[in-house]
Amino acid sequence: MKYILNRLIQVFIMTFLALTVVFFIVQSMPGDPAFGLAVSIAQTRNMSLEKALEIAHNIIGYNPKEPIILKYIKFLKNIFVGNFGYSTYFKTSVNEIIGKALPWTLFVISLATAFGFFAGTTLGALSAQKRGTFIDTFIATLFSIIQAIPAFVLAVFILFIGAVRLRLLPLGGAYPVEMTPGFYPGFILALIHHALGPLIATSIPQMASWGLAMRGNCSNIIEEDFVRFAKIRGLSDSVISQKYIRKNAILPLVASLAIGIGYMLGGHTLVEVIFNYPGIGYYFGQAISARDFGLLTGLFSLIVIGVVFATFITELLYAIIDPRVKAQ
Amino acid sequence: MEVILSVNNLKAVYLVREGTIKACDGVCFDVEENTVSAIVGESASGKSTIIEAMTLTLPPNSKILEGEVIYKGKNLLNLSEHELRKIRWSEIALVPQSAQQSLNPTIKIIDHFFDTIYAHNNWKNNEIIKKAEELISLVRLDPKNILYSFPHQLSGGMKQRVLIALSLIFNPKILILDEPTSALDVLTQAHIIQLLKNLKKEFNLTLIFVTHDIAVAAELSDKIFVVYAGNIVESGPTREVLKDPKHPYTQGLVNSIMSLTSDLEKIKGIPGDPPSLLDPPSGCRFYPRCPHVMEECKREKPKNYFINENRRVACHLYK
- pLDDT value at position B260? 63
- pLDDT value at position A246? 92
Farthest-apart Cα atoms in chain B, separation: 67
The answer to whether the Cβ–Cβ distance between A233 and B115 falls below 8 Å is yes
Examine the pLDDT at B242 and tell me if it is beyond 60.
yes
Sign of CA dihedral B268, B273, B274, B275: negative
CA distance A252 to A39: 54
The answer to whether the Cβ–Cβ distance between A228 and B96 falls below 8 Å is yes
Residue A46: CB partners within 8 Å, gap ≥ 6?
A: none
Supply the mean pLDDT for chain B: 87
Residue A298: CB partners within 8 Å, gap ≥ 6?
A: A84, A85, A87, A94, A95, A97, A98
Please name the residue of chain A whose CA is at the shortest distance from the CA of residue B59.
A228
Give the CA count within 13 Å in the CB-facing half-sphere of A289: 7
The beta-carbon neighbor of A232 closest among B96, B106, B107 is B96
Residue B220: CB partners within 8 Å, gap ≥ 6?
A: B36, B38, B193, B196, B197, B207, B209
Asked if A35 and A64 count as a contact pair (C-beta separation under 8 A), the reply is no
Helices (H), chain B: 47-54, 81-87, 109-120, 125-138, 143-146, 156-167, 186-203, 214-220, 238-243, 248-255, 295-299
Report yes or no: B60 at the A interface, CB cutoff 8 Å. Answer: no
Angle between helices B156-167 and B186-203 (to 10 degrees): 10
Residue B287 to chain A, least CA–CA distance (Å): 36
What digits encode the pLDDT tens for the residues B165-224?
Answer: 999 899 899 999 998 888 788 888 888 899 999 999 988 899 999 998 888 898 899 999
Contacts of B116 in chain A (CB under 8 A): 233-235
Lowest mean pLDDT among A79-83, A324-328, B119-123, B281-285: A324-328
Residue B193: CB partners within 8 Å, gap ≥ 6?
A: B181, B216, B219, B220
Which DSSP string do the residues of B28-69 spell out, in sequence order?
Answer: EEEEETT-EEEEE--TTSSHHHHHHHHTT---TTEEEEEEEE
The answer to whether the Cβ–Cβ distance between A239 and B55 falls below 8 Å is no
Lowest mean pLDDT among B45-49, B132-136, B156-160, B261-265: B261-265
Residue B103 to chain A, least CA–CA distance (Å): 5
CA distance B223 to B239: 8
Examine the pLDDT at B311 and tell me if it is beyond 70.
yes
Nearest to A202 by CA among A281, A264, A141: A264
The beta-carbon neighbor of A236 closest among B55, B86, B119 is B119
- Between B247 and B182, the more confident residue is B247
Contacts of A248 in chain B (CB under 8 A): 104-106
* pLDDT tens, chain A, 328 aa long: 777 888 889 888 989 998 999 888 888 877 766 776 777 778 888 777 778 877 777 776 666 677 788 888 888 888 888 888 888 778 788 889 888 888 888 888 889 989 999 999 999 999 999 888 999 999 999 999 999 988 888 889 988 888 888 877 777 777 777 777 777 777 888 888 888 888 888 899 989 999 999 999 999 999 888 998 898 888 888 899 989 999 999 888 887 787 777 777 776 788 888 888 888 888 888 888 877 888 888 888 888 888 888 888 888 877 777 777 665 5
Phi first, then psi: what are they for A28, rounded to 5°?
-85, 5
Examine the pLDDT at B100 and tell me if it is beyond 70.
yes
Examine the pLDDT at B123 and tell me if it is beyond 80.
yes
For residues B142-150, average pLDDT: 91
Residue A192: CB partners within 8 Å, gap ≥ 6?
A: none
A/B interface, count of CB pairs below 8 Å: 70
CA distance A314 to B50: 46
Which DSSP string do the residues of A68-130 spell out, in sequence order?
Answer: HHHHHHHHHHHHHTT---EETTTTEEHHHHHHHHHHHHHHHHHHHHHHHHHHHHHHHHHHHHT
- pLDDT value at position A197? 86
Collapsing DSSP states into helix, strand and coil, what is residue B194? helix
The answer to whether the Cβ–Cβ distance between B105 and A323 falls below 8 Å is yes
Instruction: Kindly give the pairing relationship between strand B174-178 and strand B92-95.
Output: parallel
Domains and CATH numbers, chain B: 3-91+174-283 (3.40.50.300), 100-169 (no CATH)
Please name the residue of chain A whose CA is at the shortest distance from the CA of residue B86.
A234
- Written as one letter, the residue type at B234 is E
The continuous run of DSSP H or E covering B23 comes out as: strand B19-32
Domains and CATH numbers, chain A: 2-92 (no CATH), 98-290+302-326 (1.10.3720.10)
- pLDDT value at position B197? 92
Confidence of residue B139 (pLDDT cuts 50, 70, 90): confident
How many Å separate Cα B179 from the centre of its chain?
7
CA dihedral B213, B215, B219, B223 (to 10 degrees): 60
- pLDDT value at position B259? 65
Nearest to A98 by CA among A280, A240, A248, A241: A280
The beta-carbon neighbor of B102 closest among A226, A239, A327 is A226
Report yes or no: B61 at the A interface, CB cutoff 8 Å. Answer: no
CA distance B12 to B20: 10
CA dihedral A69, A72, A78, A80 (to 10 degrees): -110
